[in-house]
């Protein structure tokens, strides 16, 4: 006996008739300057449901709600592409070609922090940790994370743990001294973590264990992890398919 298809409202809370434009990146006024910005069209109900930032911007009688335009000049278009993929599918198939993958992932985390989307931040944290385990930790990522996140950002904790427990100390110390770009906050966190590491209560953190159980570095803390909320799928590649390449 054939089962008749059931047609229902589905995600009835989403209004598919209303869209907004999100302009990401800086717009250069000088004709000789190359603008690194892009306009994205997104369904208002979807993005408001995921981001308290957009909920506030569109839920009040503000300029953004009237003009149906939200500006994100301090963020990267590739990061917002990742965010759109996330809010529509709750999956991350991360592929890059023109931008260093680690930089793009950090840009994604910074965007998620700004938009106050905890699940997206946690997904980006996991993607960053997987890349660190596979390819190592670029020291340039430490200043970038510290300069663009709050003191309570758990991504800071994850990167410092990896640096202290697994990086070759002489290598990163000599490079940090040479480049002189390590933020003071990062150095203090490293010293504190080294002190903990020498105590009897602190065991070495295995990189693989971060992938198996990354929740200590997630923003949800005691809430439900996005890996349980959604059917999660992550794929990271350096090559960007032709149809998805940034122009």
pLDDT at 210: 66
pLDDT band at 58 (very low <50, low <70, confident <90, very high): very high
The string of pLDDT tens digits covering residues 169-221 is 566 666 666 666 778 898 889 888 888 766 655 555 555 566 678 888 898 87
- Using DSSP's 3-state secondary structure scheme, residue 143 falls into helix
- pTM above 0.85? no
Q: Which CATH architecture has domain 36-242?
A: 2-Layer Sandwich (3.30)
Q: Which long-range contacts (CB under 8 A, 24 or more apart) does 143-149 make?
A: 143/181, 143/182, 143/183, 143/186, 144/103, 144/106, 145/106, 145/109, 146/183, 146/185, 146/186, 147/183, 148/106, 148/110, 148/113, 149/109, 149/110, 149/113
Q: How confident is the model at residue 235 (pLDDT cuts 50, 70, 90)?
A: low
**pLDDT at res. 242:** 38
Residue 239: the pLDDT is 47
> For the chain, first and last CA: distance in Å?
51
* Per-residue pLDDT reduced to its tens digit, 115-162: 999 999 999 999 998 888 788 788 888 889 999 998 889 999 988 888
pLDDT digits (tens, 9 = 90+) for 218-234: 988 778 898 888 855 55
> CA nearest 204: which of 152, 167, 154, 155?
167
Q: Which two tokens stand for residue 154?
A: 């758990």
Share of the chain above pLDDT 70, in %: 71
Q: pLDDT-derived band of residue 3, with 50, 70 and 90 as boundaries?
A: very low
Backbone angles phi, psi at 226, to 5 degrees: -60, -25
CA nearest neighbour of 22 among 4, 5, 44, 49: 44
| 35-46: pLDDT as tens digits | 689 999 999 999
pLDDT for position 198: 67
What per-residue confidence (pLDDT) applies to 76?
94
Per domain, the residue ranges of the chain are: 36-242
């Amino acid at each position: 006996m054939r089962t008749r298809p059931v047609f229902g409202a589905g995600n009835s809370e989403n209004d598919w008739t209303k869209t907004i434009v999100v302009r990401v990146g800086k717009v250069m006024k000088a004709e000789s300057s190359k603008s690194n910005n892009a306009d994205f069209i997104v369904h208002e109900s979807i993005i408001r449901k995921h981001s308290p930032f957009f909920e506030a911007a569109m839920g009040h009688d503000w300029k953004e709600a009237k003009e149906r335009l939200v500006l994100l000049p301090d963020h990267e278009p590739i990061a917002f592409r990742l965010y759109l993929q996330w809010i529509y599918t709750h999956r991350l198939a991360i592929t890059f070609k023109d931008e260093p993958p680690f930089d793009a992932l950090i840009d994604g985390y910074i965007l998620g922090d700004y938009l106050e989307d905890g699940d997206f931040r946690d997904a980006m944290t996991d993607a960053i940790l997987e890349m660190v385990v596979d390819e190592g930790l670029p020291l340039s990522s430490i200043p970038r994370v510290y300069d663009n996140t709050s003191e309570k950002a758990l991504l800071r904790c994850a990167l410092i743990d990896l640096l202290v427990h697994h990086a070759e100390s002489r290598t990163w110390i000599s490079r940090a001294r040479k480049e002189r770009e390590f933020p003071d906050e990062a150095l203090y966190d490293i010293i504190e973590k080294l002190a903990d590491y020498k105590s009897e209560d602190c065991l070495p953190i295995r990189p693989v264990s971060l992938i198996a159980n990354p929740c200590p570095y997630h923003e949800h803390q005691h809430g439900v992890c996005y890996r349980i909320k959604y059917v999660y799928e992550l794929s990271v590649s350096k090559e960007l398919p032709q149809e998805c390449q940034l122009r």
